[in-house]
Structure 1
């Protein structure tokens, strides 16, 4: 089975509260890694997401330590939807 990590950036214009955290995270751009595994046996290449991780603090925030926080893709999508509602 082949694995890969796809890096994206989640942009928040307002502070947001991560599940399991007591204090909100500030607005900013956050690195997100999505770990995926290939699905064997198909005639086409397909990938299945097995984990997503949000990196704290936001990109460009000074500091020497980083924290990688697991997050469900549905939770991340919900947070982004609240931050960027569609009309």
Structure 2
């Protein structure tokens, strides 16, 4: 079985959770590692995803404290969509606008 790994980065602007985990992850940039296997017996090259991992660095990016969390593509897409929605909502919220002068 031939496999390949691809790496990409995703940036979350807000605290987020992934999948069924209740652990909150801080906002920041995370590495995503996707592992795929070559489908054999086809007349063209095609790969099937076999695993997706979220790389989580230790506090303050401490060397040697990186963990690989197995996630699903759907959980990742959902977390990205929620982060985007929260960012847009917060951007349009009065809470982030300059406070008005109190006239009372």
TM-score range normalised by the length of the shorter chain: 0.7 to 0.9
Report the Cα distance in structure 2 between the residues aligned to 1:53 and 1:76, rounded to whole angstroms.
Answer: 10
Kindly provide the CA deviation profile for residues 12-71 of structure 1, in whole angstroms up to 9, marking residues without a partner as x: 11110123543311111100100000111111110100000001128xx42121100000
Alignment-derived partner of residue 4 in structure 2 = 4
Runs of 4+ in 1 over 4 A off after TM superposition: none
| TM-score for both structures, normalised by structure 2 | 0.72
TM-score norm. by structure 1 comes to 0.85
Unaligned segments of structure 2, at least 5 residues? 89-104
Q: Which of structures 1 and 2 has the bigger CA Rg?
A: 2
Mark the runs of 5 or more structure 1 residues left unpaired by the alignment: none
Computed over aligned residues only, the root mean square deviation of the Cα atoms, in angstroms, reads 1.8
Judging by fraction of residues, say which structure has more helix: 2
